[in-house]
Amino acid sequence: MTNKVVVLGSLNVDTTLHIDQMPKPGETISARSKTNSAGGKGANQAVAAARSGAITSFIGQVGDDGNGQFMIDALKNDRINTDHVAVDQAHGTGSAVILLDSQGQNSIMVYGGANQAMETGMLAKSESLIESADILISEFETPQEVTYEAFKLAKKHGVTTILNPAPASKIIDGLLEVTDLIVPNETESAT
């Protein structure tokens, strides 16, 4: 039997600038190359699920911009259902700028944008999707309140919930009570 996975999470366009060394404060340097790619913890989890053979759907939000369409197209290219990806007129699509030096060290700056503007009210349209899932996965690049409400819906319908608590932050009251499995990395386990 093929699992049905729903991911509630972030959609970011990652811009990676390949540089020789990190700039000093106030210094301007040139990048050797630049790449844009689909990213965000939610998008990455959805792609992993889809490529593992799961029937995968996404609940999230992008801005009304080219980056938003880029992210929707990227999910569709991996056969991920995007019917529950909303378009936010007031905020841009989430993005990250990654400085990657020749030693493999990086510095990352993230703009949450439409990811952080998600609200619990948008879940009403997604309850039937959540109900039909075997697994609901979420993370912390979107508001925890939205994850909490989605997990409550999942538990109401007997759906397994998985939480990736990244980036590490204080967990809101009640969220762990509706979480079946928590998958922190070493840094998140320590906080």
User: In the beta sheet, which residues pair with residue 107?
Assistant: 99
Q: In the chain, what are the helix, strand and coil shares in percent, each to the nearest 5?
A: 30, 30, 35
| pLDDT of 59 | 99
- Judge whether residue 144 has pLDDT over 90: yes
Tally of CB atoms within 10 A around 185: 11
* Angstrom distance (rounded) from CA 115 to CA 141: 7
Instruction: Report the alpha-carbon distance of residue 42 to residue 141 in Å, rounded.
Output: 8
Q: Which residues contact 175 (CB under 8 A, 6 or more apart)?
A: 144, 147, 148, 151, 163
pLDDT of residue 2: 84
Give the C-alpha separation, 95 to 39, whole Å.
8
- At residue 168, the pLDDT reads 85
Average pLDDT, stretch 37-60?
Answer: 97
User: 167: cis peptide before it, omega within 30°?
Assistant: yes
Q: Which residues pair with 87 in a beta bridge?
A: 62
What mean pLDDT do residues 156-181 have? 95
pLDDT for 43: 98
Q: Is 69 helix (H, G, I), strand (E, B) or coil?
A: helix
Q: Which domains does the chain have, with CATH numbers?
A: 4-12+40-94+112-190 (3.40.1190.20)
Q: What is the mean pLDDT of the chain?
A: 95
Confidence of residue 190 (pLDDT cuts 50, 70, 90): low
Counts for the chain of helices (H) and strands (E), in that order: 5, 10
Query: pTM here?
Result: 0.92
Q: How far apart are CA 51 and CA 135, in angstroms?
A: 16
